[in-house]
Amino acid sequence: MKKIRYLLERFGPSTLALVSAVLIYYYRAPLSNGAYQEHISFSGLYSSVFDWASIQTGFLFGIYGYVAGKSDGFIGAVKNTPAMTLFIGYTKVATYLGFLVTFFSIPLIVVDFSITPAAWWRYAIFIGWSFFSIWAFFAFLRVAYVFGHLIRPADQNRVVG
């Protein structure tokens, strides 16, 4: 059971992104038709993901700074452990993905990039962007979840009264 939880934690975000990309490819006809008939606003989607990615990247950078700068208490005690090294790696991956999605969403917003049934290359770009956006989102959730567990233990015993 521990091995399964470890694998889900380690590879869950990228696996969910891959499954989502496959589903987006599978439903390419309805998505393309919805875009062509202007029932789906891709500029709104790109703008929303841009906003979220930029906010999550700042949050992740704050987590990284907090963990890297803290040398006392529980985080200081586990700072040089393999688990903390793995967490820092998760944080870096999520931060890089957030930067990537933020950066590549800008041109999609500016040119009002949409997919059409006839242009397969546009759909390939959309699938790639979707893959990295979903991966970034789930990588962020993984960091936020683990960080919640890291800050849970109290740094000191408090005397009530």
Residues 121-147 have pLDDT tens digits of 888 999 999 999 999 999 999 999 888
Helix axes 120-150, 2-26, angle to 10 degrees: 160
pLDDT digits (tens, 9 = 90+) for 66-93: 888 877 777 777 788 888 888 899 999 9
Q: What is the reported pTM?
A: 0.85
Is the pLDDT at 34 greater than 90, yes or no?
Answer: no
Helices (H), the chain: 2-26, 28-36, 42-69, 73-77, 82-110, 120-150
Q: Single out the residue of 64, 41, 52 nearest to residue 102, CA to CA.
A: 52
Q: What mean pLDDT do residues 24-41 have?
A: 83
Is the pLDDT at 62 greater than 80, yes or no?
Answer: yes
CA–CA gap between residue 47 and residue 16 (Å, rounded): 22
